[in-house]
Structure 1
Amino acid sequence: MKQFSIALMVLTALSACRSNKLEVIAHRGASGSETENTIEAVEKAVELGSDAIEVDIWRTKDDSLVVFHDRNTARLSVDSLVVPESEYKALRELSIGGNTKIPTLREILEILPSDVRLFIEIKCCWEEGEAGNVFPMLSDLLQGTGKTNQTVIISFNPAKLKEASDYLPKVPLYWLVWEKKPVDELIKTALEYDADGLNVHFNVLSEELMKKAKQNNLEVFVWTVNDEGKVAEIRHKYRGIEGITTDYPDLIKKRLKLNRR
């Protein structure tokens, strides 16, 4: 009986440790070190020990799923192409950030380690017509690569999460929020669209949000935090956050490790 009690105490302690662990999510890959949303950025994020990686996807004119953030390529390339209105071949020919290429989502999935999650932001969430019809293709791709169980879907358009649940019923869905709104409104919207939680800008965080999210069984993630002091503040002030998205996963993981001592 005594041995059972000791074993139970150990399991409880281990469970508490796991529940206190914050998932560190590399924003667009390790975008503080490599060109964002590229193979190189994803590989670097893995090298730096990221728990998860966030990327952005679009559906191209010829029905490819590509990884890129902006609707237009001008910020990262000398050429300006509208991603959802372009064919993949033309996008692939561009040099991004100097000497890298725009990858397909398949390429990212194929190099994703089995113990790293992938947060996929649906950038085409406001597109009309076929450009915004992404989930049948995405579902087939995830099943074909065997990565469905490692995937998370995030979107600023909560209606897209509702649509995602029809094709990916077992994939976690989080509503991205960038502006402060009444907490009750945030909770109501998340529940209405079947979200598993909220993924909010750090300025949106509040004790009220954390309390009401917990009451409604909604998880809370936060983005994009690059300041080590801000991470320490968030961890201390807002208990229950599931994960932090950052451009510098190595620095944030180091800070979190120091805070646990």
Structure 2
Amino acid sequence: MKTKLILFFTLVFVFQNCGKVNKKPLNIGHRGAMGHETENTIASVKKALELNVDMIEVDVFLIKSGELVVFHDEILDSLTDTKGKIEDFTWEELQKVVVKGNHQIPTLDEVIETVDKLVVLNIELKGKNTAQPTLELLEKYYQKGWTKEDFLISSFLWDELESFRKLDNEIPIAVLTEENPLDAIATGKKLKAVAINPWWKTLTEENVEALHSEGFQIYTYTVNEPKDIKSVTELGVDGIFCNFPERLH
């Protein structure tokens, strides 16, 4: 009897730990699949879809003429043939800008149409004053059959997330942080966020457990090396942002 009990508890321990290690996190294409195509372009979004991601993350700014465009940097200098702050341009002017790899800067509209409800679209509010126009654009898609669960809104600008939550009490929100992820818990609760998105290097077994115990999913960025992907997977994160989504399969 004693031997059987020891065997039983040994098996329970093994299965519990295997379950933790083998938990498969969501595969989140970072700025599309920027390891393959220029970040935040339609080509990058299409590549992420081709690589069977679960979610695609893109960044948005509000430009001078009122459109929401998908781009990461505040200035155009490093990724295009043009210099200056992206928010100072009109859409007509941006259409003449060439992005590295001979791409164009897309509107958020174009990205949503490309994703076409195939996966969840994580819209990071990169620029200021993006909350309200983003909500207004999404409402147009709700009328076409999209649901709030087709989107995830995130930002390092927590005031933008607060503005969004005041306008919409239901859409999923994720709080981005590069500091101690536990410092985001209070804001996460205030916003009724579904997730906290920390920099992977700030994660420990303890804070992962603490975030989970508070009811948050953990989507960590940006993990590209196989050994690091393995490490955060073993910590039990719920999603991984990656430039090379095929590495998570």
Q: Verify the 8 A CA contact 2:24 2:233 in the aligned structure 1.
A: no
Aligned to 2:120: 117
**Equivalent of residue 35 in structure 1, options 38, 48, 52:** 38
* Structure 2: distance between partners of 1:36 and 1:58: 15
CA distance in 2, matches of 1:45, 1:200: 22
Classify 1:22/1:42 alpha carbon distance in 2 versus 1 (closer, same or farther; 3 Å). Answer: same
Q: How does 1:111-260 map to 2 (within 5 A)?
A: 111-124=114-127, 127=128, 133-147=132-146, 148-180=148-180, 183=182, 185-236=183-234, 238-239=235-236, 241-253=237-249
Deviations 1:112-152 (A, max 9, x none): 1433111100011xx3xx56643443333442454333100
CA distance in 1, matches of 2:65, 2:155: 23
**Cα separation, 2, equivalents of 1:30 and 1:144:** 29
Paired AA for residue 204 in structure 2? S
In the aligned structure 1, how far is the partner of 2:221 from the partner of 2:241? 5
Show CA shifts across 1:97-124 (max 9, x none): 1310000111111111433111100011
TM-score, normalised relative to structure 2: 0.84
Question: For residue 12 of structure 2, what is the aligned residue in structure 1?
Answer: none
- Between 1:73-82 and 1:142-151, the stretch displaced more is 142-151
CA contact (8 A) 2:221 2:240 kept: yes
CA RMSD of aligned residues (A): 2.1
Q: Which gives a bigger RCO, structure 1 or 2 (Cα 8 Å, sep 6+)? A: 2
Indicate conservation of the 8 Å contact 1:29/1:54, yes or no: yes
For the residues of structure 2 that align with 1:70 and 1:144, how far apart are their CA atoms? 31
CA distance in 1, matches of 2:88, 2:59: 16
Q: CA deviation at 1:245?
A: 0.3
Aligned residue-pair number? 229
How far apart are the structure 1 equivalents of 2:167 and 2:177?
23
Partners of 1:153 and 1:228 in 2: how far apart?
27
How much has 1:82 moved relative to structure 2? 1.4
| 1:134 partner SS | helix
Distance 1:145 1:65, change over 3 A: farther
Distance in 2 between the 1:230 and 1:145 partners? 40
Cα distance in 1, alignment partners of residues 172 and 224 from structure 2: 25
Deviation readout 1:69-106 (Å, 9 max, x if unpaired): 11111111121131112101111111101310000111
The amino acid that maps onto 2:142 is Q
